[in-house]
Amino acid sequence: MATLRCEGPDGRLAVERDGSWAWGTVGSLQVALDTGDFGTGGAAEVAEEKCLSPLPRAYQFLDGSAYVNHVELVRQARGAQMPESFWHDPLMYQGGSDGFLAPTDPIIGDPDWGIDFEGEIAVITGPVRMGASRDEAAAAIRLVMLCNDVSLRNLIPGELAKGFGFVQSKPACAFSPFAVNPDTLTGWDGGRLHGVLCVDLNGQPFGRADAGRDMTFDFPTLIAHAAKTRNLTAGTIVGSGTVSNKLDGGPGKPVAEGGAGYSCIAEQRMIETIATGAPKTPFLRPGDRVRIWMEDEAGRNIFGTIDQTVEAL
């Protein structure tokens, strides 16, 4: 599925089957998810640079922190211990969903905010009832995509200290041009997506972590967690949190040193802090460019590429 830019706020749905694109008959992906009608009519022209995020706005975005390795590193870098409960009780926040960036939109912000990217896997669900089991949650997964969960690192500590989660420190994020039916993904095991999440910063490999490794909580577990006390509407997006791999049970190494690298700058800074006492890599500055994509075993780009450049506010 792809959503092409058009006049309305929800774009125009295009569906690919057997290598050719056609327009969705119901207009938008949200309506297709609401009605279950993914019918098509008329050949569509789809180019990545004309794509919006598959859901240009959504009724819900819940982002987990499923790669607990990442969470442990955050804590370690600031000398705090991670509660043992974090290994069996998912960390998740209610994210803003009222307007996502297109995959090629600039990231506009004040560099003093500490702008960072986070490479993630995300799923779009159908309706999920309150109290749904893990199996019901698994059956509700409709589409898989990639996410750049933009984070404003210098605003996070102050905001989290207030105790109510993120508002200002998590601005609009972006998703990959294409959202894909998991049944057609060879790397999908029903709960996790196996494959290397490629992240390049300014043309250099920054992250090559395997999204199927070290994911403590799989998507059905995250969805069931979210649905414990309420129904989830069709079109709910659930994110994995920053993809992060361990190396021999410890923190990873940069790609340039033969490691799997990192899916966000903050994690590289944590490793630097743990190693040398201080971070070295700066957060994003105007002109910096981040690209996020995943290839299948044949080297084909599965979801298209999130390709964003930072612009000053």
Q: Are 290 and 148 in contact (CB under 8 A)?
A: yes
Per CB under 8 A, the list member of 57, 70, 142, 269 interacting with its own copies is: 57
> Which residue has 């774009």 as its token pair?
11
Of the pair 21, 59, the CB lying nearest its own copies is at 59
Q: Least distance in Å: CB of 192 to its own copies?
A: 21
Is 89 among the residues that bind its own copies (CB under 8 A)?
Answer: yes
Name the β-bridge partners of 145.
Answer: 122
Q: Which of residues 201-230 bind its own copies (CB under 8 A)?
A: 225-226, 228-230
Roughly how many angstroms between the first and final C-alpha of the chain, as a whole number? Answer: 32
Report the DSSP pairing between strands 237-239 and 119-125. antiparallel
CA dist 241 and 93 (Å) reads 10
Q: Is 25 left (phi over 0), alpha (psi -120 to 50) or beta?
A: alpha
Per CB under 8 A, the list member of 190, 202, 231, 287 interacting with its own copies is: 231
Of the pair 65, 240, the CB lying nearest its own copies is at 65
Is 124 among the residues that bind its own copies (CB under 8 A)?
Answer: no
Is 108 among the residues that bind its own copies (CB under 8 A)?
Answer: yes
Q: Least distance in Å: CB of 158 to its own copies?
A: 8
How does DSSP assign 167-236, residue by residue? STTS---EE-S--B-GGG-TTB-SS-B-SEEEEEETTEEEEEEETTSS-SS-HHHHHHHHTSSS-B-TT-
Q: Least distance in Å: CB of 163 to its own copies?
A: 6
- Span near its own copies by CB under 8 A; candidates 18-26, 83-91, 194-202, 266-274: 83-91
Is 92 among the residues that bind its own copies (CB under 8 A)?
Answer: yes
Of the pair 13, 226, the CB lying nearest its own copies is at 226
Instruction: Output phi, psi for 281, to 5 deg.
Output: -75, 125
Is 96 among the residues that bind its own copies (CB under 8 A)?
Answer: yes
Is 8 among the residues that bind its own copies (CB under 8 A)?
Answer: yes
Determine the length of the chain.
313
Per CB under 8 A, the list member of 76, 94, 154, 181 interacting with its own copies is: 94
